[in-house]
A = this chain, B = another copy of it.
Amino acid sequence: MAVSVEVPENISAFLDSATPDEWLDVATERLPEMLLDHANCELKAASTALGFLYRYPERSVLAQRMSRLAREELRHFEQVRSIMDDMKIPFERLTASRYAGGLRDAARRDEPYKLLDLLLIGALIEARSCERFARIAPRLPEKLGKFYGGLLASEARHFEHYIAFAKSESGVTDAKIEQRLQELKKVEAALISDPDPIFRFHSGPPL
C-alpha cells in the first residue's frame, strides 16, 4: 500500500519550485542509485554541519546545534546504508550532482556574507531534501515509503534552524537577508528545474 505523505506547507512555501514529475518518474525506476546518492547526501550534510564547527568554532550556540545536526544526519546515513544492505544494493562510488556545488559556487567569499550565504544554502538544501522525501514516499514500496515519511518528520524543521542562525549569527539586517534569500532561491530552483545530464537525489529532470 502506498504511503500517504504530503509536502509540509512551510516547505512548499519556502521553495521557489516543486520537484518536476519527470524526476520522480526516473527516481522510482532508479531506486538503487537514488538510495546510494541519498546515503552520500546524508554524509555530506553531516560534513557540512561540521564545517561550520571548524570555520566558526567560537560561536557556541552554532557549534552545539551543528554538532547535534551532524549526529542526526549520521544516524540517517546509517539507516539508509542498512536499507541498502537489506536490499542487497552493492556500494558504488557516484560522481556528485551539480546541485550542491552549483549552490556553493553562488556563496560570496567575504564575511559576514560567506557565513550568511552558507547558512541560507544549508536551509535550501534541507528544505529541498524534505520536499523530495515527501514527493517520492508515496511512489515507493510501503516499507521504504514509511522510512522516507519518517525522515521528513525528523528533518522538516532543519531549514528553519538554518534561517534562524542566518538571522542570529550573521549580523546582516533582516531585509538584506531576505533579499539574498530570494536570489539564492532562484539559483536553487533553476538547479532543480533545468534538464540535468545525470540522475541524483538532487538532480533536475532528465536531459
Q: Which residues of A are at the interface with B, using a C-beta cutoff of 8 A? A: 43, 46-47, 50, 53-54, 57-58, 60, 63-64, 67-68, 70-71, 74-75, 77-78, 81-82, 85, 91, 93
Contact = CB atoms under 8 A, between A and B. Distances in A.
Contacts of A47: 50
A68 B78 contact: yes
B57 A50 contact: no
By CB atoms of chain B within 10 A, which of A64, A67, A82, A93 has the most?
A: A67
A27 B40 CA distance: 40
A60 B81 contact: yes
Contacts of A60: 81, 85, 91
Contact of A50 (B43, B68, B75): B43
Contacts of A54: 43
Contacts of A43: 50, 53-54, 67
A43 B64 CA distance: 12
A58 B50 CA distance: 23
